[in-house]
Amino acid sequence: MRIKDKKDFASGLMFIAFGAFFAILARGYQMGTAAKMGSGYFPFWLGVLLGVLGLIVLLKSLAASSEDHDLGKWDWKTVLWITGAVILFAVILQFLGLILSIIILVFFSALASHEFNWKQTLVSSLILIAICYGAFVWGLKLQFPVWPPFLVG
């Protein structure tokens, strides 16, 4: 069997690895059932689903009908910008709150792009703020600061 599409093969392996990692990690939490989910139920099945998706992508990369694609070289500058932005978000969330932290996250991540655009980045920030506020603050009622503590008292 010959690997025709090396990009899909590597992506499939990565999906399988991440899926297996999170499914195994989720087993350490209470699983529950579909009717009464425990804290590990959703991450476990999401990890399994990611692994299955990875297997499908990996198998398609071996198909004779696949196009030949090489992996190419990694753009380490982009990887470091995005990884740094996520780490920065984790560090500043408690100090600057959700809104400002998301704006900083999106702008730092956008700097990784070779096609950076201020207007698109601002719109992306606002959309992500609306989604995160709706899902985490309003929907799930998670307790973390929305605004910096020095602004709200």
Q: Is residue 98 a contact partner of residue 134, using CB atoms and an 8 Å limit?
A: no
Residue 26 neighbours by CB under 8 Å, 6+ apart: 40, 41, 43, 44, 47
Joined together, the tokens standing for residue 56 give 């499908």
pLDDT at 5: 84
For all residues of the chain together, what is the average pLDDT?
91
Q: How many secondary structure helices (H) and strands (E) does the chain include?
A: 5, 0
pLDDT at 86: 96
Q: What is the pTM of this model?
A: 0.67
Flag residues of the chain having pLDDT under 50.
none
- Quick one: DSSP state of residue 49? H
Give the tens place of pLDDT for each residue, 111-136: 998 898 999 999 999 999 999 999 99
Closest C-alpha to 113, from 89, 85, 88, 132? 85
Measured distance CA(131)–CA(21) in Å, rounded: 27
